[in-house]
Amino acid sequence: METVTLKMDRKHITLLNERAKSLGRSRAAIVRDLIDEHLTKKKRPSLHDLAKEFCGSLSGPRDMSTRKLTGYGRD
């Protein structure tokens, strides 16, 4: 393994020390675990990805507006 030096706010160092002590692990092990957890997390799916099975499944007029526009290129 290689050595990396980090500059951290005191509050983060305190949180890291508390987590390491509560788990009985080294600070380096906690940082490695957090980096692995964060960087290997899958990207959150988009709204389209979540609802694409429903796209185009509704019937009815294409323009669902009830107020007819005048002007704006539509007369």
* Residue pLDDT, tens place only, 54-73: 877 777 777 767 667 677 66
Determine the average pLDDT of the residues in 48-54: 85
Residue spans per domain, the chain: 10-54
What is the C-alpha to C-alpha distance for residues 21 and 13, in angstroms, rounded to an integer?
Answer: 12
> What does the pLDDT look like over 6-47, one tens digit per residue?
999 999 999 999 999 999 999 999 999 999 988 887 778 888
| This prediction's pTM | 0.54
Element (H, E) at 63: none
pLDDT score, position 19: 96
Question: How sure is the predictor about 75, in pLDDT bands with cuts at 50, 70 and 90?
Answer: low
